[in-house]
């Protein structure tokens, strides 16, 4: 779907593409996402069921060949050693691994890992440079927040200053730092502090990329238990959007903002400081909408994200929408506010951030 906000003369303009997808893909009783009804009894959360399909403990040769083929068709130029804090391994061992990967796949021009800012801040500059010399190009850090109050509540195990030191030391070693931030992580109580302190940390840390990952609370997690106990109140969408606005307005460094998560409501991408006004205008266009228009926009945006992630919609989402379909399109005028909120919650509970 085209950017609903940009150049929007009518709220209905933003729904045209999503209406077409609904009309084309969602015949009664049909799931356009193919095998997304497959049962994965080991995982109750449908997001984990979907995510687990991408990984196998013991892949077959056919699985591996398909994976490599897909990677080569995508260009075969990048390699991401994910799902761990790779900075904990010995630099010499990493050099051996990286050298073997590059020898097998000489087309690779960027090697990326996950890491913790605390680990980077505690490492010697020589060790970090050894990673660079081994061929490491970029480290993704999940800083999530620049507020020490939020980091402590979330038991992140790191401070705002360690975030800054870790990023700066990484850059000094010649490696590109890329960070993830999490709007909404401060909840209602620390919403503004979370936003302003995150902008402060980003300004000092000077990452090359800032990737937005809006908070989604999974069932059976410590944070969900905090919500159920009344110790954490989740920020509403408008509050989260305002946090993103504060961060973009107050981050004073040269960097790239990337909104590439299904959990994000708005498509806010660009360079700072060059594209600051453009990104703020996208946010302000949403904030200027009337409350009902925001609900309708949110439903369309979440549907777009779901279809983009899964390739279609599931039976439960279709059944929730079915009473309000008219001529293959969603008749928003027929949906009460509370029903829209319920459908939005249903879709968000199925999205993998």
d(CA 281, CA 245): 10
d(CA 207, CA 257): 10
Residue numbers of the chain with a pLDDT score lower than 70: 1-44, 46, 50-51, 53-55
d(CA 207, CA 256): 8
Domains in the chain with CATH codes = 1-40+291-353 (no CATH), 78-288 (3.20.20.70)
pLDDT of residue 32: 37
pLDDT of residue 31: 39
DSSP states of 273-291: TTTHHHHHHHHHHHHTS-H
Which residues, other chains included, contact 303 with Cβ-Cβ below 8 Å and sequence gap of 6+?
18, 21, 22, 313, 317, 347
d(CA 231, CA 313): 34
pLDDT of residue 198: 98
pLDDT of residue 124: 94
7: left (phi over 0), alpha (psi -120 to 50) or beta: left
pLDDT of residue 127: 93
DSSP lists the bridge partners of residue 115 as 141
pLDDT tens digits for 158-204? 999 999 999 999 999 999 999 999 999 999 999 999 999 999 999 99
pLDDT of residue 133: 95
Q: Identify the DSSP state of 41.
A: T
CA-nearest of 308, 303, 298 to 320 is 303
pLDDT of residue 42: 58
Please, which contacts does 156-163 make with residues 24 or more away whose CB atoms are closer than 8 Å?
157/118, 158/116, 158/117, 158/118, 160/197, 160/200, 160/201, 162/117, 162/118, 162/121, 163/117, 163/201, 163/205
């Amino acid at each position: 779907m085209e950017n609903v906000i940009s150049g929007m003369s009518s709220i209905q303009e933003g729904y045209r593409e999503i209406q077409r997808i609904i009309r084309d893909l969602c015949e009664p009783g049909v799931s356009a996402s193919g095998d997304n009804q497959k049962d994965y009894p080991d995982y109750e959360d449908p997001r984990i069921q979907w995510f687990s399909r991408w990984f196998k403990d013991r892949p077959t040769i056919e699985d591996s060949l398909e994976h490599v083929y897909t990677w080569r068709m995508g260009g075969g130029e990048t390699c991401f050693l994910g799902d761990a804090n790779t900075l904990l391994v010995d630099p010499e061992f990493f050099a051996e691994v990286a050298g073997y990967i590059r020898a097998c796949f000489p087309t690779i021009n960027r090697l990326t890992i996950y890491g913790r800012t605390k680990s980077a801040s505690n490492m010697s500059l020589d060790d970090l440079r050894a990673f660079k010399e081994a061929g490491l190009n970029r480290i993704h850090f999940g800083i999530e927040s620049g507020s020490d109050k939020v980091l402590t509540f979330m038991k992140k195990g790191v401070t705002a200053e360690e975030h800054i030191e870790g990023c700066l030391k990484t850059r000094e070693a010649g490696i590109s730092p890329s960070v993830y931030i999490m709007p909404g992580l401060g909840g209602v109580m620390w919403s503004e502090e979370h936003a302003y302190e995150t902008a402060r940390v980003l300004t000092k840390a000077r990452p090359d990329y800032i990737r937005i990952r809006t908070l989604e609370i999974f069932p059976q997690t410590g944070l969900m238990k905090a919500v159920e106990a009344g110790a954490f109140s989740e920020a509403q969408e408008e509050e989260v959007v305002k946090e993103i606005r504060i961060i973009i307005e107050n981050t004073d460094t040269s960097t790239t903002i990337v909104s590439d998560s299904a959990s994000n409501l708005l498509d806010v991408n660009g360079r700072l400081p060059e594209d600051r006004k453009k990104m703020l205008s996208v946010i302000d266009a949403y904030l200027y909408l009337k409350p009902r228009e925001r609900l309708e926009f949110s439903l369309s945006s979440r549907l777009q994200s779901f279809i983009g992630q899964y390739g279609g919609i599931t039976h439960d989402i279709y059944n929730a929408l079915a009473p309000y379909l008219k001529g293959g399109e969603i008749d928003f005028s027929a949906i009460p506010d509370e029903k829209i909120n319920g459908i939005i919650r249903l879709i968000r509970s199925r999205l993998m951030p």
